[in-house]
Structure 1
Amino acid sequence: MCRHEPPCPSFTANDREAARVVAVHPEQGWSLLCNGVVLFEDTGELLPDGKTIAPHRPAVHPAA
């Protein structure tokens, strides 16, 4: 699928979010990555095999 050099990480790789963006729809809150992952603005993911990854934004802690 990926024609970049070096190739983008596979959707099964831990660093799958490092793949290049091939389509972006900020009005809808998602981007399509070269490896087929749909990345949502809340950091949730839809993988090409239909699996989902829950949002994983870092927790925000109030200043002490």
Structure 2
Amino acid sequence: MCNHEPPCPGAEAADHEAARLRAHHPEQGWSLLCNGVLVFEDTGEVLPDGRVVAPHRPVSAKAVAA
């Protein structure tokens, strides 16, 4: 999918969220990355092969201490 240089990380790469945006729809809560990954505002994802990645927001230090 990626046609620019340097190419974006692939959907299987650990840093796949670093790919460039192809489409951004904040009013609907999602973005499509250059590598075909759909990223949602809750940090969930759908990979190009249809696998779903559950939301993975970082846990704040305050929440850990409680």
Distance 1:24 1:10 in 2: 19
Q: How many residues align?
A: 64
Can you give the 5+ residue segments of structure 1 that lack an aligned partner in the other structure? none
Distance 1:42 1:60 in 2: 15
CA RMSD of aligned residues (A): 1.5
Distance 2:61 2:18 in 1: 26
Equivalent AA in structure 2 for residue 47 of structure 1: L
TM-score, normalising length: structure 1: 0.91
Equivalent AA in structure 2 for residue 53 of structure 1: V
TM-score, normalising length: structure 2: 0.88
Equivalent AA in structure 1 for residue 47 of structure 2: L
Deviation at 1:4, TM superposition (A): 1.4
Partner in structure 2 of residue 52 of structure 1: 52
Over 4 Å off, 4+ runs: none
Percent of aligned positions with the same letter in both sequences?
A: 70
